[in-house]
Amino acid sequence: MINNKNMKVRGQRGSVLIYILVAVALLAALTVSLMDSSGQQSQSQNASGLVSEIDGQIGLISAALSECVLSHPNQDSELTATEQKNAPYPINPADSYFDTQSADPGSDANNNVANIRCPGNPGGDGSNNQDHARIFGGSSGKFMPPHPALFGDWDYYNGADGVAITIASDKTDPYIADALAKLNDKYAQCEAEIIDRRSLGALNITSDTIGAAGPRQCGAGEICFRYWIILKPTAIHQDSPDCP
């Protein structure tokens, strides 16, 4: 004889188990959704912070260069056309010119923006025009802030292609590319550019080797952001359509 009471109890237990499983599934889905939302929010905040930081440093560097150019338009009368492609902008810090000239002799080991020297500072004639005082440092009262986290130092370029500053990262954090894309959108076409070599080999990004051992590069596995202060037709530029 079938025990209807036992069947009813088992049926109720089965229904309760189904409800429990449904509740667990919904809770898991909600947890994943909240985690995704939190992750996206965190990534967006990181990207926004990085945009502000890099944009601010571009403004600081540009203003310091403009002050140098406006304050010392006569620069250094002994600079040759080989050493100075864009007068009166500072020449590359690693240029061998500094090995024998300037009141601060000896070229720097690299072309970091922090090492830029202002030609003609503090002005005057003859030997005073060779002072090339450093733009950033205690004597100037201007200080270059640390480079953004996950990035290297800013690189300065003054050559046949113009005058530019470049920063690069070899990190894989997903918000970096997003931040650089948003930053690039803040500038006019060809004023700035993204050079993405994260899954590619190194790329030469200048047409000459002035003040360096070879052409400037965006290295293998790096994503680079370059801001142009002066852009010439010879420039190897990544924006499309081609720049004028």
- List, for residues 68-79, the tens digit of each pLDDT value: 999 888 888 888
| C-alpha span between 19 and 88 (Å, rounded) | 77
The whole domain housing 127 covers 43-231
On whether residue 38 sits in a domain, the answer given is no
Query: Does 142 or 24 have the greater pLDDT score?
Result: 142
Tokens of 82: 């080989």
pLDDT band at 133 (very low <50, low <70, confident <90, very high): confident
Give the pLDDT of residue 122. 63
pLDDT band at 129 (very low <50, low <70, confident <90, very high): low
Cβ-in-10-Å burial (0-12, 13-18, 19+) of 34 comes to exposed
Tokens of 142: 């201007």
On whether residue 243 sits in a domain, the answer given is no
Tokens of 13: 């237990």
On whether residue 2 sits in a domain, the answer given is no
pLDDT of 197 above 80 = yes
Least confident segment among 108-117, 129-138, 196-205, 232-241: 232-241
pLDDT of 66 above 90 = yes
pLDDT of 123 above 60 = no
Confirm if 153 and 168 have CB atoms less than 8 A apart. Answer: no
pLDDT band at 16 (very low <50, low <70, confident <90, very high): low
Work out how many domains the chain is built from and give that number. 1
| C-alpha span between 24 and 20 (Å, rounded) | 6
On whether residue 23 sits in a domain, the answer given is no
Q: For the whole model, what pTM was predicted?
A: 0.79
pLDDT band at 91 (very low <50, low <70, confident <90, very high): very high
| C-alpha span between 15 and 210 (Å, rounded) | 79
On whether residue 14 sits in a domain, the answer given is no
Q: Which residue has the tokens 């020449």?
A: 91
On whether residue 226 sits in a domain, the answer given is yes
pLDDT of 4 above 60 = no
For residue 15, the SS3 value is: helix
Quick one: which H or E segment has residue 57? helix 4-71
